[in-house]
Structure 1
Amino acid sequence: MEPASENSLSPRVSWAVALPGLAIVLLVLLWLFFPTVWSLVSIWLRSDTYAHGAIVLPISLWLIWEKRAGLANAVPQPTLVPTLLMLPVGSVWLLGSLTDVLVIQQYGFVCLLILAIWSIVGTPVTRFLAFPLGFLLLAVPAGEALTYPLMNLTADFTVGLLRLTGIPVYRDGTFFSLPSGDWSVVEECSGVRYLLASVTLGMLFAYLNFSFLWKRLVFVLFSVVVPVFANGLRAYLIVMIGHLSNMKLATGVDHLIYGWVFFGIVIAIMFWFGSMWRDPVGKVRAGLKGGG
């Protein structure tokens, strides 16, 4: 499948007009919303939780490049519909600015960016590029609201496994005590960073390896559930290492190192499992370049 084209027009001439126009519009948006753009970049640079956002744009551009064969046969068909949608989306950005809520401003900017692309290249081409463009939304540093629920879930999981193991433990919220020492599930241990990174990688893996929508959705759900339970297991193992070593191991920097190594292993296992039921490579590649 390829985006619809108009044979009466030359794709080369049409793209020669559309691409400079698109570049100008995007540059204007970057200039107008530079504080919002910089807020995105600064969060990527300073936060381990949202560092994955920095690779979203390069991945999206690469996915678009992979579809270049289909784009070469398409003709941009500018439309007014997304231009009209820019007004309510811009109002949402303004609301975020007035209330000083960065995440609203950032989502508003990314949506304006997508709408600008849609308005110039047209609906058929935008539909053809739906995933690469939608993937840009993952660049927004969102998910902070999940931190405390995940902290409590991690504490539930850890304390439950400790008691199942036969180790006496006293819990008070996210703090708990063992005979060997005291522990607490802090924000860094909530697993939100692992969850966000896993979902981002899971969506990309599903798109690149499955051609059926139901398979993609199942794997994305898999990438949500696995890191949540894996983080609880990681916390339990760290507490056990500390307990068995009389609090000499897994209590400092190595605590974080164990976490990232464990996460890497979990992601590798998740991808290995997914690769066992992926669709034939030729079929997936044809879909990506054509219209998948």
Structure 2
Amino acid sequence: MNVQLDSVNRLPAALLPDGRRDLALPALLLALAAVVLLYHATFWSMVELWSRSQTFAHGFMIVPISAWLAWRRRARLAALAHRPSPWGLLLLALLGLAWLLADAANVQVVEQYAATAMLPACVLAILGWPAVRVLAFPLAYLFLAVPFGEIFLEPLIDFTASFTVAALQLTGVPVFRDGNNLSLPTGNWSVVEACSGLRYLIAALALGALYAHLNFRSARRRLAVMAAALLVPILANGVRAYLIVMLGHLSNMRLAVGVDHLVYGWLFFGLVALLLFWIAARWREAPLLRAAQPAPAPV
């Protein structure tokens, strides 16, 4: 009798005779749909920001990518025994309270983070901690869809202006700085929001996190790639600004002063991103080979 019980306990979750397991996925989908419906205004405010701001346009890709990453783990998820967690319900209550406070204070970004965090909380409440661990990265990746980062605009603009002035002085070009305005003998330049590099930084972080997750196993290497994805775009944007100013200066303000200014910027960012991931690929780790599950022994 003990042998039979032990054998049943070792069976994959998909083979356990538990009718509740068949209801787990539909219950989760209904819960996720309910969150999206109840907080549709908050989620719609995110979509509106994606559509009108190039800085946050990457948000349109985050949800499909997260869904694809979760789909890739469907086999591991199917092998789990679903154990609903009361901590998920508590977390949902706390997030609902946070959303109400943010709504009363009109702090939109907190509303958006609270509503987004309710989606992983639903997974925890219905499927339990094992499922959250399996889906940890797809669930965390969803938070990159929240339009956030404008608080870093001023520091990034200041860094870009300082870097450009220092590079110009090192190459013997006279420059006078007044705040974010630069004056050269051939013309004047302004380091504005589009020159801050915030859109490059956010896009690089989203790409770097995805690349690190798919190509590395160790946490140290993943963190190293993500750190590089944060630091390299900031430095590269300074170089980009300097090269554009130099191009305009050497061409007597005939080049890099109009639409080509933005085109050169995106081309330069693309080259930097390709170089970054090409270097990172030299240390990529092969995926772990999973041992085949032995068939249950006959009783």
Q: Which TM-score applies when normalising by structure 1?
A: 0.92
Post-superposition offset of 1:71: 1.6
Q: For 2:154, which of 148, 156, 179 is the aligned residue?
A: 148
Superposition deviation, residue 75 in structure 1: 2.4
Counterpart of 1:83? Answer: 89
Aligned Cα RMSD in Å? 1.7
Structure (1 or 2) with the larger CA radius of gyration: 2
Give percent identity, aligned residues only.
47
In the aligned structure 2, how far is the partner of 1:80 from the partner of 1:5?
A: 24
Of 204, 207, 210, which aligns to 2:213?
207
Deviations 1:104-162 (A, max 9, x none): 10000011111012111111111111111011011000010000100000001001000
The residue aligned with 2:16 is 9
**How many corresponding residue pairs?**
281
SS in 2 for 1:171: strand
SS in 2 for 1:183: strand
Match of 1:176 among 182, 185, 194: 182
1:266 equivalent in structure 2: 272
Q: Which is further off, 236-245 or 82-91?
A: 82-91
Q: d(CA) in 1 for partners of 2:176 and 2:192?
A: 17
Map residues 51-70 of structure 1 onto 2, 5 A cutoff. Answer: 51-70=57-76
1:8 and 1:248 map into 2 onto residues whose CA distance is: 71
* 2:135 maps to 1:129: yes
Q: One-letter code of the match for 1:58?
A: P
Structure 2, unaligned runs of 5 or more? 1-10, 292-299
Shift of 1:10: 4.1
1:115-126 matched pairs, under 5 angstroms: 115-126=121-132
Displacement of 1:77 in angstroms is 1.4
Higher relative contact order (CA 8 A, sep 6+): 1
Q: CA deviation at 1:286?
A: 5.4
Partners of 2:204 and 2:246 in 1: how far apart? 25
Q: Is the 8 A contact 1:80 1:119 kept in 2?
A: yes
What CA deviation, in whole Å up to 9, does each residue of 1:193-229 have, x standing for no partner? 1000101100111111111000001111010000000
Whether 2:244 is the aligned partner of 1:275: answer no
Q: How far 1:16 sits from its partner (Å)?
A: 2.5
Matched, 1:223 2:223: no
Aligned to 1:37: 43
AA aligned to 1:89 is L
Q: Which ranges in structure 1 are unaligned for 5 or more consecutive residues?
A: 288-292
Name the CA distance, whole Å, in 2 between partners of 1:10 and 1:165: 74
User: Which residue in 2 is equivalent to 1:107?
Assistant: 113
Q: Which runs of 4+ in 1 moved over 3 A?
A: 4-8
Task: Supply the distance in 2 between the matched residues of 1:204 and 1:226 (Cα, whole angstroms).
Answer: 16
Distance 1:49 1:121, change over 3 A: same
